[in-house]
Amino acid sequence: MKTYARIMKKGNKLVGFVPTMGYLHEGHLAVIRTARKQSDVVILSIFVNPIQFGPGEDFKKYPRDIRKDEELAKSCGVDILFYPDKEDMYPGGFSTYVNVEGLTDQLCGKSRPGHFRGVTTVVAKLFEIIKPDIAYFGQKDAQQALVVGKMVDDLNMDVTIKTLPTVRDDDGVAISSRNVYLSKTERKDAAVLYKSLEAAHQAVESGERNAKKLVERIRGIISTVPSAKVDYISIVDARSLKGISRIKGEALATLAVFVGKTRLIDNMILNTAVPGAIRAGQPKEVRHAAKKYGPVRSIPQ
Ligand code: AMP
């Protein structure tokens, strides 16, 4: 991979990179297609990164289907699929980690201690191996994109981070590899995450600025679904991720909710900077209507 990356650099090719954990879906593919449009060479990595999973989390059962992923990657014009082994990335004696402080203290960083340390460590390694000009991330994992951006700034890394809009199914559910864990009923229930965020957005549009009231509105809607259990609901500054009491400028409504045993995350930008345009500046979210309910592929046994 390093040799290939060096050749691309010498040839003055603009290298676009999309890091993923695989089990590709329409959310990933939208990111890849944008990279395809914007770069000479598109490199996709697939690596289920063990160090970003906590004890008792789903590292072992995380869905994997490299054959299908290869086909999908090819169909979207990926030039190189980088698919390292665990042992390649973390050989015995591995002991160096990258940790972004501050931004990782709250939200998913609080619920999943060590998660972002695992993410930034693997992304730093991938950047070092691939040396991309542009790396693409999804707004669905808003905190991850901000944390990686901070790492790049703080460590003077020579890569531009681009964050692309969340791709949703036609009922609003953010597409995720983990949606495959949901039963048919849970998959229907999962729509409550988006529904609650939409309600918060509507409330802000109607003039509500009190963050606590917005959180309670979101919580109220989620509580109507018995299979849903809130991990966190938070309204934060969209850049610093610090809690805010009033919506001003660009805020992020963000949440993590267990639907059955599956932990799902979602978020929505609330922008009051321009009166009458709450979501001004928010990248237009994309709906992918091809799938209805239920897993598209079953987990390979
Ligand atoms: P993952 O394989 O889940 O680690 O995701 C790889 C990249 O794809 C991350 O930058 C995610 O934020 C992005 N991504 C995953 N799901 C979506 C989605 N529904 N819409 C947009 N980007 C996504």
Q: How far apart are the C-alpha atoms of 246 and 8, rounded to whole Å?
A: 48
Q: Is the pLDDT of residue 299 over 70?
A: no
Average pLDDT, the chain: 92
Mean pLDDT across 178-206? 97
Q: Which H/E stretch holds residue 56?
A: none
Give the HSE-up count for residue 79: Cα atoms under 13 Å, Cβ half-sphere: 18
Q: Among 120, 144, 148, which residue's Cα sits nearest to residue 134?
A: 148
User: Residues of the chain with pLDDT > 70: what percent?
Assistant: 91
Integer CA distances (angstroms), 222 to 38, 78, 171, 257, in order: 39, 39, 15, 9
Given pLDDT bands bounded at 50, 70 and 90, which one contains residue 293? very low
Q: Is the pLDDT of residue 289 over 60?
A: no
Give the model's pLDDT for residue 279.
43
Give the model's pLDDT for residue 271.
85
Give per-residue pLDDT as tens, 110-120: 999 999 999 99
Q: Among 74, 26, 27, 24, which residue's Cα sits nearest to residue 47?
A: 24
Q: Which H/E stretch holds residue 40?
A: none
The tokens for 147 are 């944390």
Per the model's pLDDT, the better-predicted residue between 272 and 291 turns out to be 272
Q: Is the pLDDT of residue 300 over 50?
A: no
Give the model's pLDDT for residue 275.
52
Residues touching ligand 1 (Cβ under 6 Å) are 20-21, 27-28, 31, 137-138, 140-141, 164, 166-167, 174-177
Q: How far apart are the C-alpha atoms of 183 and 137, rounded to whole Å?
A: 28
Q: What are phi and psi of 78, to 5 degrees?
A: -65, 135
Q: Is the pLDDT of residue 291 over 60?
A: no
Candidate from 17, 18, 20 with most ligand 1 atoms within 8 A of CB, to mutate:
20
Q: Is the pLDDT of residue 287 over 70?
A: no
Question: Does the annotation count 115 as an active-site position?
Answer: no
Q: Between β-strands 262-271 and 15-20, what pairing exists: parallel, antiparallel or unpaired?
A: unpaired
Q: Is the pLDDT of residue 292 over 80?
A: no
Give the model's pLDDT for residue 298.
38
Q: Is the pLDDT of residue 296 over 50?
A: no
Q: How far is the CA of 141 from the centre of ligand 1 (A)?
A: 7
Q: How far is the CA of 197 from the centre of ligand 1 (A)?
A: 19
Give the model's pLDDT for residue 282.
43
Give the model's pLDDT for residue 273.
72
Per the model's pLDDT, the better-predicted residue between 173 and 271 turns out to be 173
Length of the chain: 301
Give per-residue pLDDT as tens, 121-180: 999 999 999 999 999 999 999 999 999 999 999 999 999 999 999 999 999 999 999 999
Give per-residue pLDDT as tens, 44-74: 999 999 999 999 999 999 999 999 999 999 9
Give the model's pLDDT for residue 95.
98
Give the model's pLDDT for residue 284.
54
Give the model's pLDDT for residue 301.
32
Q: How far is the CA of 180 from the centre of ligand 1 (A)?
A: 15
Q: How far apart are the C-alpha atoms of 94 and 183, rounded to whole Å?
A: 38
Count Cβ atoms within 10 A of the Cβ of residue 98 and give its class: 0-12 exposed, 13-18 middle, 19 or more buried. Answer: middle
